[in-house]
Amino acid sequence: MLYSQTSGSGEDLVLLHGWGFSADLFADLVAKYQHKYRLTVIDLPGHGRSDEVAGGAENWCAEIINNLPTNPILLGWSLGGLLAISIARQLPLKGLILVACSPNFIQNKHWNFGIPADNFRQFNTNLKADFSKGLRRFVSLQSNNKKQIKALNQSISRFPASTQALNQGLEILLNTNLLDEFQQLKIPIKVILGENDTLVPSQISAWYKACGVDVKILKTGHLPFLDENFQL
């Protein structure tokens, strides 16, 4: 069973976090928008307070779908965005918001807006040496708000992802290419990128715009929603 929590009032907006974190990552975003939206946050499989789910992206998406309200707006950050794209191909959504996300995170000869697979594996290896410490350092480089960083660090320590879930999430990021699926979507889509993001380069904005998608670039790294200028 996946952990989910709903608060606020208005049209349904569901938030999906990324690899290694929990839904607590969106605490400030929920507080900011709970008077405009009915917000549902979900811990991904094996992350936060959610049970592990065997299998890959298809299995994870099936469990997430079981926790979705009818016809929501779906916001996905990083890995959560990749899952959101897949879900958007399977059921009606009112809209899709992708934050620091790419339909294909890994570079290949036909796709320049990713990172080399070996670099990604090395990033994972470095984190696994002390995963919680690695995530805390990652967060510290994304924000100058000490109160915000402290709250996120507490969440990282309190709700660590399981080893199985981390391995599954890494495989999803390494092996999922949804470029064709993304271009077939017929729903409103908004993309928000970080100018200094090293995992999803802001240059991908050219590709998104060629797909007819609204793109906003903030002066942030891989966590644009932590910035005070972040707007839905």
Q: What value does the mean pLDDT take over residues 200-226?
A: 94
- Count other Cβ atoms within 10 Å, centred on residue 102: 29
User: What is the mean predicted confidence (pLDDT) over 195-201?
Assistant: 90
Residue 126 has pLDDT above 80, yes or no: no
Amino acid symbol at 144? N
Q: How far is CA 76 from CA 137, 138, 157, in A?
A: 22, 19, 22
Integer Cα distance of 22 and 11 in angstroms: 23
Point out the residues that are catalytic: 78, 197, 222
The token duo for 121 is 């594996």
* Average pLDDT rounded to a whole number, residues 198-208: 94
Distances (CA, A) of 224 to 46, 86, 193, 216: 24, 22, 7, 10
If you average pLDDT over residues 153-182, what whole number do you get? 90
What structural domains and CATH numbers belong to the chain? 4-226 (3.40.50.1820)
pLDDT at residue 139 greater than cutoff 80: no
pLDDT at 198 over 90: no
The whole-number average pLDDT for the span 73-87 is 97
